[in-house]
Amino acid sequence: MKQWIRLPGLIGFVVTLALLIAFWMLFAGGLIKSAIETFGSDAAGAKVEVESVDLTFSPLGITLTGVEVADADKPMQNLVQMDKAVADLELMPLLLGKGIVKELSITGMAFETARTTSGALAKKTKSAEDVAQEKKDAEKEAKEESAFSSVKVPSADEILAREPLLTESRGKAFQESFESGKTELDEALAQVPDEKSLKSYEDDFNKITKGKLKSLKDFEQRKKALSDLKKRIKADKKAISTATKIVAKTKKDLQGQWQGLKDAPGEDYDNITSKYSIDGAGASNISKLIFGDQAGVWTDKALYWYAKVKPFMGSDEDSNSAQQEEQARSGRFVHFKTSNPLPDFLIRKTRVQLDFELGNLNAEALDITHQQTILGRPTHVDVTGRNLKDMQSLELSAVLDHRTARGTDSFNLAIKDMAVKGWNLGYEGLALKSALVQVNANGVLQQGQLLAEGTGRFNQARFGGKASGGFAKELQKTMQKINQFDVKGEAKGKLAAPKIGISSNLDKAISGAFNQRLKEKKAKLEKDLKKQLNEKLLSYAGDYQDQLKGMDLASGKLGDKQDALEDLAKGELNSWEDQQKQEAKAKAKKEQKKLEKKLKDKLKGLKF
Amino acid sequence: MLGMLAKLLKALNSESAPGQIALAFALALIIGLTPLTSLHNLLVLFLAFVIRINLSAFFLGIAFFSGLAYLIDPLSVSIGESLLTNPDLQESLTALYQSDFWRATKFNHTLTLGGLLVSLALFIPVLVLSRLLIIGYREKFMAWVEKLKVTKLLKASKFYKLYTAMAD
């Protein structure tokens, strides 16, 4: 038995373990710092830097100092930075390989701060796929922007540049048909005999058929010449017939398309006017016009931050096929019901002090993890601020629930007494000089579909502006009488490009003055649209009408030529026998007349 | 690695007990077929240090069976999956899951559980088979190889001296 036990091996085992632990304690800080910077940079697409990482063993914890996350879009700016982050870790889960943070306290957290060095990562060589993806992203971004651009009344030029026009598509099709028909017709007409050829046919025909047949051989020769001539006439008749058919077909095609092309500007106009709601009802939504830009900016910001946070919230798309394939090779954890579920990473409680221009906000988040399915609880976020600059209070609560594949995120926002000062409403120099606003909003996002609504109650409103005359002055006057109004907003549809709806009781208050102005705008837009569409039509139609007349003329001439050839083709050569018979007949008749005369003369000499 | 291989060859050709080399292979099988950072592997490592087995054979065995695991892992995962999702076992598994110790063993990981079961099932066959192979090698093959002229020539070469120097 003794030969099977190796006591020094026990020492070796203990020493190996001790070395591993010592190595970890010595280098853990550096390894964690390096891991945060490397993986963080990959996730953020920009530099993530940590000044220092300190480990404490009683209580077990980790302190990060001077964390900066650069903005991938603006490298000289930090997306977020924090002075200090202290995390209290739970020991037992750590031994199980789980990173469970009991409490995370972040102080000195600020957003969009300036950097002294660029936060851009070293550029990788872009593959064709990357370029294509970037193009897609840019298109997507442009689409998202267009969700807000529709709240303005665009100019005729903008609309015509943006919209696919029937006038253009039909015009191009018409031009193509016209060109191909013309080529076909030119080729066919080249085969048709000209006037000179017709004259020569006539001369040849006369030469063959006129004059006395001298002999049977002469007859045979003429007959053959006539047959050859007829063959040529037959071929030319066929060419004329083909050309006539092509003229008719081209004309018919073009006439059909011409009708469509003529109608296209009208159809385009109808489509555009219905789409852009430039009828009275659509355009009278003044709230959308004057608050649309502001709503767009806010919604953009909210979506931007949501997009930054979402990847860390775990996911509805976890069960993709690549991941399933990976799980089939390297396995997966099967979790069972427990009173103490342990995801791979969890921050039970987070306290953050946010430094904003408007003051300090306190945020508290519970249960931040990318594995809510294991934890069985959603992430709760509460942000509160009191006595802020230009705002009495702000309360935001959000629930990010990704426990099932159909993740649901919801939020509630309440802002009390927000002081609005000098909002340029971006319309005819109109400005909201001051107001106190109460905001209440809520929203739900499920499977990429957003449904959010909010109300802003504007009290003690004072409007003003630099309008010098006309409609703007009239509008300003009307608005100066308003001191309280509500603006309701809603965002519906795909998160990437939600449809923004804004309404307000301002509409009713100033609809009279505004409708008049809108009628003028609408009339001008209609006129511009019609003018430009007609110009487009003319550019495609070109000298079509002249060409059509030319075709008619060509058709008529072809008919004349066909008739002339028909006549020639009907002409026949008398046969040799007929000519002999006719000559014999004529000779007999002459002889008969001669005999009759002789007989008369003899009868006169006889006297009875 | 080359030195380790030389040591293994030396052990095969030496008077080391065949069981010590065979046990090294069998223990390596467990580490090779299951994820390296599992708790049970700490126990296996402890046994490998404390029991007088051939450590070169043990570490080479880990390398060999880790390579073999690429082929066996899908089977291990499916075994683990079917056990962990078996409705009849849910009550017992849920009870185990309440214990931090058992969770530390990662018994609820499909590859860990499946790999461990496969390696335990193959433990005795690998132990017996490798022992028989070592004995057979020593009795028949080694003597036959030693008698070969080419072996004698090789043993006289500088390369062999270098090999034995490395093995020492």
- 8 Å CB contact of B51 and A327: no
State the burial class of residue A132 (Cβ atoms within 10 Å of its Cβ: 0-12, 13-18, 19+). exposed
Q: Which of B50, B66, B71, B73 best tests the A interface by mutation, with the highest count of A CBs <10 A?
A: B50
Q: Under a CB-based contact definition with an 8 Å cutoff, are residues A113 and A82 in contact?
A: no
pLDDT at A486: 87
% helix, strand, coil for chain A, step of 5:
55, 25, 20
Question: Who among B37, B50, B74 is closest to A6 (CB)?
Answer: B50
Round to whole Å and give the CA distance between A31 and A263: 72
Q: Do A4 and B76 count as a contact with CB atoms less than 8 A apart? A: no
B-chain CB neighbours of A5 within 8 Å are 50-52
Name residue, tokens 């509409």: A507
ipTM of the complex: 0.79
How, if at all, do strands A99-114 and A77-89 pair? antiparallel
Cβ neighbours of B84 in A, within 8 Å: 334
Does residue B32 register a pLDDT over 80? yes
Taking CA atoms, what residue in B is nearest to A327? B77
A239 contact B CB<8A: no
Cβ atoms of A568 and A202 within 8 Å: the answer is: yes
A368–chain B nearest CA distance, Å: 22
Packing angle of the helix pair B18-33, B110-136 (nearest 10 deg): 160
Number of other residues whose CB lies within 10 A of the CB of residue A407: 21
CB contact under 8 A, A337 and B94: yes
User: What is the pLDDT, as a whole number, of residue B74?
Assistant: 93
Q: B150 CA to chain A: closest CA distance, Å?
A: 36
Total residue length of chain A: 608
Structure tokens at A581: 């018979």
Placement of tokens 């003055």 in the chain: A513
Q: Nearest Cβ partner of A92 from B17, B81, B100?
A: B100
Choose among A495, A502, A359, A514: nearest CA to A427: A514
Give the nearest chain A residue to B104 (CA atoms). A96
Which of A92, A98, A329, A332 is the best substitution to test chain B (most B C-beta atoms within 10 A)? A332
CB contact under 8 Å between A97 and B114, yes or no, is no
Q: Which residues pair with A353 in a beta bridge?
A: A362
> Among all residues of chain B, which has the CA nearest to that of A325?
B74
Residue A107: how many CB atoms within 10 A of its CB? 13
For chain B, the C-alpha Rg in angstroms (whole number) is 20
Average pLDDT, chain A: 77
CB contact under 8 A, A10 and B98: no
The whole-angstrom separation of Cα B17 and Cα A299 is 76
CA atoms within 13 A on the CB side of A421: 4
Choose among A96, A97, A332: nearest Cβ to B110: A332
Question: CA-nearest residue of chain B to A2?
Answer: B52
Is B15 strand, coil or helix?
coil
Chain A residues inside the 8 Å CB shell of B48: 9
Render pLDDT for B105-160 as a digit per residue (tens, 0 to 9). 989 999 999 999 999 999 999 999 999 998 888 877 767 776 777 767 766 766 66
Asked if A304 contacts A298 with a C-beta cutoff of 8 angstroms, the reply is no
Contact of A335 with chain B, judged by CB distance below 8 Å, is answered with: yes
CA-based nearest distance A91→chain B, Å: 12
Residue B43: closest CA among chain A residues belongs to which residue?
A13
Please give the structure tokens belonging to residue A13. 């085992």
All residue ranges of chain A with pLDDT < 70 are: 1-3, 123-131, 133-155, 158-159, 162, 213, 273-301, 307-322, 425-429, 467-474, 496, 507, 509-522, 541-545, 571-577, 579, 605-608
Burial class of A12 by CB neighbour count within 10 A (0 to 12, 13 to 18, 19+): middle
Interface probe, candidates B46, B49, B59, chain A, greatest A C-beta count within 10 A:
B49
In B, minimum Cα distance to A326 occurs at B74
Instruction: Report the alpha-carbon distance of residue A300 to residue A306 in Å, rounded.
Output: 10
Cβ count within 10 A of residue A89: 19
Residues 6 or more apart whose Cβ sits within 8 Å of residue A282: A276
A608: contact with B, CB 8 A cutoff? no
**Nearest chain A Cα distance for residue B99, angstroms:** 10
Amino acid at A324: Q
As given in the structure block, the two tokens for residue A53 are 């990482």
Round to whole Å and give the CA distance between A69 and A67. Answer: 7
Secondary structure of residue A452 in the 3-state scheme:
strand
The pLDDT of residue A293 is 62
Taking the alpha carbons of A455, A457, A463, A469 in that order, is the dihedral positive or negative?
positive
What's the gap in Å between the CA of B13 and the closest CA on chain A? 19
The one-letter code for the residue type at A42 is D
How many secondary structure helices (H) and strands (E) does chain B include? 10, 0
Cβ-nearest to A336 among B46, B93, B109: B93
Query: How far is CA A487 from each of CA A35, A435, A440, A506, rounded to the nearest angstrom?
Result: 48, 13, 11, 8
pLDDT in tens, A513-539: 556 666 666 677 777 777 877 777 777
